[in-house]
Amino acid sequence: MGKGAPDGWTYLNADGIAIAVPKAWREIPAADLPAGVLAAVQLKEHGSVIADVEVLAKEPPTPKGRKMTVKPSAPFTLGGHPSRQMNYAFLSTTDGLPRRVTEVTTKAANGRPVVVLITASGKGAGSWVDTMYRIANSIQIGTIGKGNLVKTWPKV
C-alpha cells in the first residue's frame, strides 16, 4: 500500500489522505457531498456513474445485495497505522446491478479513522478490478503538494 500514483494519474487530497485516480475521473465539489463523505471522485459514462471513490468519516452502511463474496486482505500498516482492506462483489437489490467494492480502513494524518470506498457498478464492474487495486495501492497518509511530495503533520 501507499506506492503512489501510476503515470498519468492525479491525486485527490481528502482530509489527511491522498489517493491517486485516473485523470478522467472528476472530483465532486464539497458542497455536493452527502453527510459523512469527506471527499469523492467519480467516472461517468453516458450520464451514469460507473466507478467512484469516496472517503468516509465512518464505516459505510452494509450493502443491500445478494451473493456477496468477501475477501479480506492480510493485515498491514499505512502511515504507521494498522489498516485493513476488504474486497467484495454483490448483486445490488436496490437497482439490480452488479457491484465490486474495495474498502480500505485506516487513519488520516490527524489520527482520525477514515474509510476509502472504491466502487465499480454495472455489467463491466469486473473489468475495473485492476484499476481499483491500483487506487487502493496509491493511498498515502498526508496530502500531496507540488512535485507529488507527501506532506504529513503531527497528530493533534
Answer for the pair 53, 41: CB distance below 8 angstroms, yes or no: yes
For residue 156, the model assigns a pLDDT of 41
User: What band does 131 get if pLDDT is binned at 50, 70 and 90?
Assistant: very high
For residue 155, the model assigns a pLDDT of 47
Task: Please report the domains of the chain, with CATH numbers, ordered by start residue.
Answer: 9-142 (3.40.1000.10)
pLDDT mean over 123-142: 89
* DSSP-assigned beta bridge partners for residue 12: 19
Q: Which residue has the cell 494498522?
A: 82
Answer for the pair 15, 30: CB distance below 8 angstroms, yes or no: no
Read off the pLDDT of residues 26-65 as tens digits, 9 standing for 90 and up: 999 999 999 999 999 999 988 888 999 999 998 887 777 7
Q: Which is more confidently placed, 17 or 1?
A: 17
Answer for the pair 41, 27: CB distance below 8 angstroms, yes or no: yes
Residue 119 has pLDDT above 50, yes or no: yes
For residue 124, the model assigns a pLDDT of 84
For residue 152, the model assigns a pLDDT of 56
